[in-house]
Amino acid sequence: MEVLQKALILAQVQGYTAIAIGLIVGLGAIGACIGVGVMCSKFLESAARQPELIPQLQGKVFLLLGLIDASFIIGVGIALLLAFANPLLGVVQVMLK
């Protein structure tokens, strides 16, 4: 295989990885923002209806906020793994030898 073809294949893997990173981070952020927005609006609605339940609901809201944000942070971690230690490039390089 020519050197140019090998470089082209590696560039394609890097390009597709960049697109995947953008999708992971972008869709994860959109999903987390929508989830937090819906949950907080429901919390405010229920707090307005029954103010005596605010302390109980507030703890649950903060717990769920952490869980929703944790899923986004895990996606960012996977995106960083693909950006800086891409395992796909190693596999492709072994195949091209």
- Tell me the per-residue pLDDT of 11-61, one tens digit each, with 9 for 90 and over: 999 999 999 999 999 999 999 999 999 999 999 999 999 999 999 999 999
pLDDT, residue 51, reads 94
pLDDT, residue 12, reads 93
> Quick one: angle between helices 3-49 and 54-84, nearest 10?
180
- pTM for this predicted structure: 0.80
**Residue 28: which of 84, 86, 76, 78 has the closest Cα?**
76
Position 84 pLDDT exceeds 90: yes
82 part of a folded domain: yes
Domain with 71 in it: 29-86
69 is catalytic: yes
pLDDT, residue 85, reads 92
Q: Which of 18, 26, 69, 70 is catalytic?
A: 69
33 part of a folded domain: yes
Count of structural domains within the chain: 1
